[in-house]
Structure 1
Amino acid sequence: MVRLILRIVKLAVIAFVALSLFGVILFKYVNPPFTWLMVIRGFERKADGKDWKIDKKWVDFDEIADPMKRAAVAAEDQSFLENHGFDFRAIEKAIEKNSKSKKLIGGSTITQQTAKNVFLWPGRSLLRKGFEAWFTILIETFWTKKRIMEIYLNVIEMGDGIYGIEAASQAYFNTPAAKLTVRQSAAIAVIFPSPRKWSATKPTTYLKHRQYLIRKNMRRLGPLEF
């Protein structure tokens, strides 16, 4: 019985590794058609009596305005181009702050967020974090930083039923992602942590301050070499 269980576990591990490798390599060349979060949010809307809504439109990397890419880096992961998927300093700071506050603060890089958004389900369990770390390593191994940013900005949740930068820029500013300004990019980037609660066009005083800090960091970052 023990041998049988061990054999099943071994086969399960091999299958998981093979499937995860296949998925990461596939999405290096093929754009992800949807994410689990999109599906979950769709059913949540139906449960609330709303219409099914997944508003998204894929745009290639070069069709996204440079300020939006810099805003994402400035807001979410300032060492994105230098790190290898993990920012251990940010993780340490998050752990320290979380130990002193009931409000959880994340320390995830853009690569980690992409791994979660594309391959996993929402949540904070240790199991999911373990899977997230595994996919982060695979993504950093097989994808370029340019591809990571492209997928990140195309699948991230940006409002109620709104996914990706093209849908967000049209919904909030009635303009294509290619024409987003510095101010508009910062306004969108600031809502990443809570896109269904916060608005890019009706910012609170706190969000206005965060927008200022993001724009300041964007100037400090300068051009990004992908």
Structure 2
Amino acid sequence: MLLRRIALVLAGMMALSVVLVFILRWVDPPTSAFMIQRWITAHSEPGDPPYVYHEWADWDAIPAAVKLAVIAAEDQRFPGHGGFDTIEIERAWERYRAGERLRGASTISQQTAKNLFLWSGRDPIRKGLEVWYTLLIETLWPKERILEVYLNIAQLSPDTFGVGAASWRYFDRPVMALSSSDAALIAAVLPNPNIYRLETPSATVQRRATWIRRQMAQLGGVSYLNKL
């Protein structure tokens, strides 16, 4: 009886997650799990509100250069994989076996699933849920929607989420006015926005932005987005 109840609860949770992801294909999420966590944490820290800066930017308002820069920086095989980059996973595993630190190989799809629905950390439960939600969004959303949501919820500073808010806070203009250089700087801080800062880009961030601009050109420029 207990196992049956557990199975029913799990089945219900899975069904609810499917419905939620299906709805979010068309409904813009007003917040994310990571934003909520930041808002809660900030209440225990000194400082006044707002604790979270976020402004939704529609797909058509986001410059192609911003979309391309994030793909070039984070997931160059994004148009072609089904949510998981097996090539990068194999490379990460080979480097680990060779004695290097195990590095993540998360795709944009995985990061979207994690940031939108889950919490930070590496525990097995979270990783399992990340796989589930990644499969859901890859099945139920087109690539353009996955990238649109990611660009709107990605953390770009300790309290700034999404390119809409970042463009006003750090470039003093709307997202549609961002240049290719601005786009590369935004993408450059994504690996660790608590260390890499847009307000005072370090030499490391500047070098990474230069590398991203080269990668954007090597991918063929904004025409690469036609593969989505």
Q: TM-score range by the shorter chain?
A: over 0.9
Distance 1:97 1:16 in 2: 37
Which residue number in structure 2 is paired with residue 36 of structure 1? 33
Contact 1:187 1:201 in 2 (8 A): no
Q: What does residue 50 of structure 1 align with? A: 47
Deviation of the 1:199 alpha carbon: 1.2
Counterpart for residue 74 of structure 1? 72
Q: Deviations over 1:52-86 (max 9, x none)?
A: 41211111101001110000000000001111111
Q: Output the CA distance in 1 between the equivalents of 2:47 and 2:112.
A: 27
TM-score by length of 1: 0.93
Q: Specify the alignment match of 1:19 in structure 2.
A: 16
Shift of 1:207: 1.9
Give % identity.
39
State yes or no: 1:8 paired with 2:33.
no
Provide the rounded CA distance (Å) in 2 between the counterparts of 1:110 and 1:90.
Answer: 13
C-alpha deviation, 1:98, in angstroms: 4.6
| Structure 1: runs of 5 or more not aligned | none
The whole-number CA distance in structure 2 between the counterparts of 1:204 and 1:178 is 25
- Answer whether contact 2:58 2:148 (CA < 8 A) is retained: yes
RMSD: 1.4
Q: Which position in structure 1 is the counterpart of 2:197?
A: 199
Higher mean C-alpha deviation, range 125-134 or range 202-211: 202-211
Aligned partner letter, 1:128? R
**TM-score (structure 2 length as normaliser):** 0.92
Q: Distance in 1 between matches of 2:133 and 2:96?
A: 24
How many positions carry a matched residue from both structures?
A: 222
Q: CA offset at residue 14 of structure 1?
A: 0.8
CA shift digits 1:154-209 (9 cap, x unpaired): 01111121111010111111111111111110001010111122112422222222
Aligned to 2:170: 172
Q: 2:32 is aligned with what amino acid?
A: T
Q: Distance in 1 between matches of 2:124 and 2:191?
A: 20
